[in-house]
Structure 1
């Protein structure tokens, strides 16, 4: 089953002059697949991820996530869909510094509002344990190490059991040891939990070790 299907995707920037930044991009990602998108700066990979995240709706072509077409939907519909079906892990963790690790992980689920607080808290604790940071559950996010913060951010991305986790340079601020740990976590999530993971990265070693590597150049997929 394909969680993500992209077809004939084109993107133009209008200012200061009309410039095509994505050119007829198309690919599919299966459930439980760990895919890395890589390429040099300016290749279009970050623009592509921004479109796939549904944050930018100005494109030509088709983006299907979990069988739903993203084109033509209202911003309100897309915001609700994102919260339920897409988990995000960024280069910077974007945790709320004054909130505890546990509170940060719980936030997207409390916003979704499908389960009572006690159930959300238990699920958040289970995810922190899965990511080996449950001992930091009651600690404020500002007091965690960089590696711990990124693990908490991954737990937060998983709290609503999303169809796909999207990462934007998730190891960009980490040292090599923590980068290897984060890679291992993504690999385990895909293999053991059948979690679909799509990561944009400059790290060629990271990309090569994923299940599949998509290489972009000049707004096109040239490999993968």
Structure 2
């Protein structure tokens, strides 16, 4: 089953002069798989990730996520769709430093409003247990180590049980030990939980351990 389907995707920058950034991209992302997007700086990785995250709908072609065509949707629909279906993990965790770990994890679910606060608290605790940071739950996020903060960010990304997790260099700010921990967690989430994860990465070892690599060069897929 494909969670993401991209067909004949083209992206242009119009200013200051027209530039063809992404060229005739076609690929699918299968449910329960870890897929890495690689390529040199300027290859179009970040532009592609921005489109796939539904933050930019100015493109030609089709992006379909969980049988929802993204092109043509208004901003309110896209915002609701992101909150319910897409989890985000960034190089820098973007946790709220003065909020507790629990509060950071619960925030997207409270915003979505589909579950009671008690259910959200239980789900947050289970995720923090899964990611081995439950003992840090009452601490302010600012007091955690970098590796712990990134694990909390992963829990936050998972709290709404998203269809797709999108990672922008999710291990780019971590040392090799914590990178290995996060990669093992991603593999476990895909295998045991059926989670679908799509990341941009410069880390060749990370990419090599993914289920699939999509390599970009000059805006085209070359592998």
TM-score, normalized by length of structure 1? Answer: 0.99
TM-superposed CA distance for 1:204, in Å, is: 1.0
Matches of residues 1-224 of structure 1 in structure 2 within 5 Å?
1-223=1-223
TM-superposed CA distance for 1:217, in Å, is: 0.3
TM-score, normalized by length of structure 2? Answer: 0.99
Any unmatched runs of 5+ in structure 1? none
Q: Distance in 2 between the 1:138 and 1:26 partners?
A: 45
TM-superposed CA distance for 1:16, in Å, is: 1.4
Q: Distance in 2 between the 1:11 and 1:189 partners?
A: 32
TM-superposed CA distance for 1:15, in Å, is: 1.3
Can you list the C-alpha shifts for 1:113-135, whole angstroms capped at 9, x where unaligned? 00110100110000000000001
- Aligned residues: CA RMSD: 0.5
Can you list the C-alpha shifts for 1:100-125, whole angstroms capped at 9, x where unaligned? 11000000000000011010011000
Can you list the C-alpha shifts for 1:132-169, whole angstroms capped at 9, x where unaligned? 00010000000000000000000000000000100000
TM-superposed CA distance for 1:171, in Å, is: 0.5
Q: Distance in 2 between the 1:7 and 1:204 partners?
A: 26
Equivalent pairs, count: 223
Please state whether the residue corresponding to 2:123 is helix, strand or coil.
helix
Q: Distance in 1 between the 2:204 and 2:40 partners?
A: 10
Any unmatched runs of 5+ in structure 2? none
TM-superposed CA distance for 1:205, in Å, is: 1.0
Q: Distance in 1 between the 2:133 and 2:126 partners?
A: 10
